[in-house]
Amino acid sequence: MKRNILKIGMIGLVAVSFFTCEIRADVRMPGIFGDHMVLQRDIKIPVWGWADAGEDVTVTFGDKNAKTKADADGKWRVDLDKSAGKSEPQVLTVKGKNTIKFEDVLVGDVWICSGQSNMAMAVGSCINAEAEAKSADLPQIRHFRVRNTMLPAAASDVNGSWEVASPANVSGWTAVGFFFGRDLHKHLNMPIGLINTSWGGTRVEAWISREKLATLPGTEGDLKQLDGMGESFDKVMDQHKKNAESFLVEYRKLEALETDEAHLKKYSDPALDDSSWKDIETPGNWEANGHPALDGEVWYRRTVDIPASWAGKDLALELGPIDEIDTSYFNGEKVGGMGTIKPLDTSFWNVPRHYVVPGKLVKMGKAVIAMRIVDQMGQGGPWGGEAKDMFLAPVESKDDLKSRISMAGKWRHFVAFELPVKPGDPSNPNTASVLFNGMINGLIPYAIKGGIWYQGESNSGNAYEYRVRFPAMINDWRARWNQGDTSTGSGRDFPFFWVQLANFMNAPEKPENSEWPVVRESQNKTLSLPNTGTGLAIDIGDAKDIHPRNKQEVGRRLALSALAVAYGEKLEYSGPVYKSMKVEGDTIRISFDHIGKGLEAKGGELKQFAIAGDDPSSPNGSAAAGKNFVWAKATIDGDTVVVKADGVKSPVAVRYAWANNPEGCNLYHKDGLPANPFRTDDWQVATQPSDAR
């Protein structure tokens, strides 16, 4: 894996003080209330906060008015009558001894967007990011980003702010959430609110309350870790803050180098004597080439011979993905660059560099190509391209392999500035319940339509437990949103949709047992809960990137599920789903639900089907299942698929797309959605806990 899963989700410091000190006398509101917010239509709307004990509080919204008194603990709550969806801005007023006004408030549908880094991944990191931002003048779509916060006990508040969708800010929004919300908005013509509460690299256990986890088998260790945080949490975080301040002094020096013209000229100058620099292989990150834990600024240089026929021509300089930030030079002149340290923008770490050297710089003879590469977290360097994709060639003939000068191989390199080791964050966002405590509990009981979820990669190591813990989380959230005055209706089995894990890692040469298919299966089993659905990404992942960039299609597929399940639209929202199997001699016939307008093999013969006979020998590693799976030939026969393989005379089981990366899986229905991965031999389920409630 080229990148640590946690990279997108890392933060420097956790702020906890705003949770622990409630200002009294004046009426105070939770952080989820703010200008530009969206309130949930068609159900009662909870509005709550804090004041002096016994203080009179009046809440006004349009023609609705409610009064209450703060209780002995200073807490108060009212439930406003239902409102229809309204795109006209309104004002929510809360009056006690002081008055608070929230401007530009819409009424529509509000969706929780949660999970790990694939939910946190921003619009600016997706395909066509620039065009998506330019077209995002959508003032009826609003986004609230919950600040990453982990806490040892449940907080009553969150920190964040609402924004209105515009070309200026949507690049930083959750991509899955935005594209999901945009599709709903277009279809429903209704304001959409998105509450983005996500953290990269996190396990589902962190998002479940302590009380719920305590009812599940096998969570004793998780709970012990949580309880061990105790009173030492604040002291440890204070020390971390001091360490981080010392690190920041050095980090500012690195920032300054970005605009230090003398520094940049020194190392990009073709006349610089780099004979003392060491060689390093490319492509490849520098951690794998002799620099463990190196963060900072590293220069790469290489001399090439420009033929006379290239003189005066524009040249294509192809360097592959560079982690994280680069500025690239040709004979001392800048010809390209991506990312910046100040302001920090590392979103291009997995984007191939395609630069053009202007013809006016191109002369026959020696030329020096230099790359200034800056990395401030995780791996660094020109890591991800294939050797054949790194080259220099005339733009007019760059597709002619014979005209290229390879940029792969040995470069000279020099560490110009090395950051000290960043202080390790003593907080662990994967400690049980800490994200529920810091990022979910403080949202309750804000009225919502439902939730969407993209997570599971970090639970691949306990994929069977996931089939219990994931639905337990959904039930936990639903129950808590439904506590208190159930007339709000916001928690009664609210709709919940998730993304099934995308294809990732190397495609298998033989049928395999691996972890990600079991996570997908566990996600599928969660469909037994009411008002749920899934959006598949099995065909739009990236073998080399755990964060596939086509989040537009992910959002569209989630929106289809929502339109069908949450809004009652008559449409096909799921690809084919395994229903049953029937042995017919030396073949197995597979039947499906959700066949839409009929099954379809997209792009040729069906792929990624495997079959097993009754021979228990297992040379390919399936001994645990007692079956030897081999690749099979599969054909569509009406609304079924018939599967067989040479040498398998008495078949007993079939698997489809059962791999971390089932590359080329191509069973769809004619409505355009891919078939759900499945196996007919769920051999281990009987030994696993099954009570998710």
The pLDDT assigned to 427 comes to 66
Considering the domain architecture, whether residues 277 and 407 belong to the same structural domain is answered as: yes
The pLDDT assigned to 686 comes to 33
Task: Please give the order of strands across the beta sheet that includes 651-656.
Answer: 629-631, 609-613, 651-656, 678-679
Q: SS3 letters for 551-586? A: HHHHHHHHHHHHHHHCCCCCCCCCCCEEEEEEEECC
Indicate whether 20 belongs to any domain: no
**Last-in-domain residue among 395, 418, 441:** 418
Model's pTM, two decimal places? 0.75
DSSP codes of every residue in 374-417: EE-SS--BS-S--GGG-EEEEGGGTT-GGG-EE--EEEEEEEEE
Considering the domain architecture, whether residues 368 and 483 belong to the same structural domain is answered as: no
Considering the domain architecture, whether residues 581 and 560 belong to the same structural domain is answered as: no
pLDDT tens profile 188-210: 999 999 999 999 999 999 999 99
Question: How far, in Å, CA of 104 to CA of 133, rounded?
Answer: 22
CA distances from 255 to 9, 129, 155, 373, 566 (A): 22, 26, 36, 13, 48
pLDDT tens profile 555-570: 999 999 999 999 999 9
Q: What's the structural domain count of the chain?
A: 3
Task: Please give the order of strands across the beta sheet that includes 296-306.
Answer: 278-282, 409-418, 296-306, 365-375, 325-330, 333-338
Indicate whether 516 belongs to any domain: no
Indicate whether 671 belongs to any domain: yes
Q: What number of other Cβ atoms are within 10 A of residue 42's Cβ?
A: 14
Indicate whether 36 belongs to any domain: yes
Considering the domain architecture, whether residues 393 and 318 belong to the same structural domain is answered as: yes
Question: How far, in Å, CA of 6 to CA of 571, rounded?
Answer: 37
Considering the domain architecture, whether residues 591 and 554 belong to the same structural domain is answered as: no
Considering the domain architecture, whether residues 543 and 609 belong to the same structural domain is answered as: no
Indicate whether 629 belongs to any domain: yes
Assigned token pair, 283: 């492509």
Question: How far, in Å, CA of 419 to CA of 279, rounded?
Answer: 21
Which domain covers residue 404, as residue numbers?
A: 260-418
Cα–Cα nearest to 93, from 27, 145, 141, 44: 27
**Last-in-domain residue among 357, 390, 418:** 418
Assigned token pair, 13: 């410091």
The pLDDT assigned to 231 comes to 58
Indicate whether 405 belongs to any domain: yes
Residue length of the chain: 693
CATH number for the domain spanning 294: value is 2.60.120.260
Angle formed by the axes of helices 515-525 and 463-481, nearest 10°: 30
Angle at 604 between CA 631 and CA 587, to 5 degrees: 40
Q: What is the separation of C-alpha 599 from the centre of its chain, rounded to a whole number of angstroms?
A: 31
663 three-state secondary structure? coil
CA distances from 658 to 310, 512, 548, 554, 677 (A): 50, 7, 19, 20, 6
Low-confidence ranges of the chain (pLDDT < 70): 1-25, 230-231, 424-427, 484-491, 615-626, 683-693
User: What are the residues whose beta carbons fall under 8 Å from the beta carbon of 681, sequence distance 6 or more?
Assistant: 612, 625, 627, 652, 653, 655
Question: How far, in Å, CA of 659 to CA of 665, rounded?
Answer: 10
CATH number for the domain spanning 77: value is 3.40.50
Q: What is the dihedral of CA 409, 415, 420, 425, to 10 degrees?
A: -30
Backbone dihedral region for residue 393 (phi beyond 0: left; psi -120 to 50: alpha; all else: beta): beta
Assigned token pair, 280: 């390093």
Q: DSSP alpha helices (H): ranges in 284-383?
A: none
Question: How far, in Å, CA of 600 to CA of 366, rounded?
Answer: 56
Q: SS3 letters for 83-116? A: CCCEEEEEEEEEECCCEEEEEEEEEEEEEEEEEC
Question: How far, in Å, CA of 377 to CA of 295, rounded?
Answer: 6
pLDDT tens profile 137-146: 999 999 999 9
Assigned token pair, 99: 């008055």
Assigned token pair, 47: 């509005």
Please state whether beta strands 325-330 and 365-375 pair in parallel, antiparallel, or not at all (unpaired): antiparallel
Question: How far, in Å, CA of 323 to CA of 98, rounded?
Answer: 51
**Last-in-domain residue among 389, 418, 447:** 418
Half-sphere exposure of 516 (CA within 13 A, CB side): 23
Considering the domain architecture, whether residues 275 and 405 belong to the same structural domain is answered as: yes
Q: What number of other Cβ atoms are within 10 A of residue 493's Cβ?
A: 15
The pLDDT assigned to 13 comes to 33
CA distances from 232 to 226, 228, 235, 427, 435 (A): 12, 9, 5, 11, 18
Considering the domain architecture, whether residues 200 and 300 belong to the same structural domain is answered as: no
Considering the domain architecture, whether residues 181 and 35 belong to the same structural domain is answered as: yes
Looking at residue 121, the DSSP 8-state letter turns out to be -
Cα–Cα nearest to 66, from 82, 54, 51: 82
Indicate whether 285 belongs to any domain: yes
Considering the domain architecture, whether residues 401 and 478 belong to the same structural domain is answered as: no
Considering the domain architecture, whether residues 346 and 495 belong to the same structural domain is answered as: no
Q: What is the dihedral of CA 61, 64, 69, 71, to 10 degrees?
A: -70
**Which sign, positive or negative, has the C-alpha torsion 470, 475, 480, 481?**
positive
Considering the domain architecture, whether residues 46 and 126 belong to the same structural domain is answered as: yes
Q: What number of other Cβ atoms are within 10 A of residue 291's Cβ?
A: 18
Indicate whether 636 belongs to any domain: yes
Element (H, E) at 355: strand 352-357
Assigned token pair, 492: 């009664």
**Which sign, positive or negative, has the C-alpha torsion 395, 398, 399, 400?**
positive
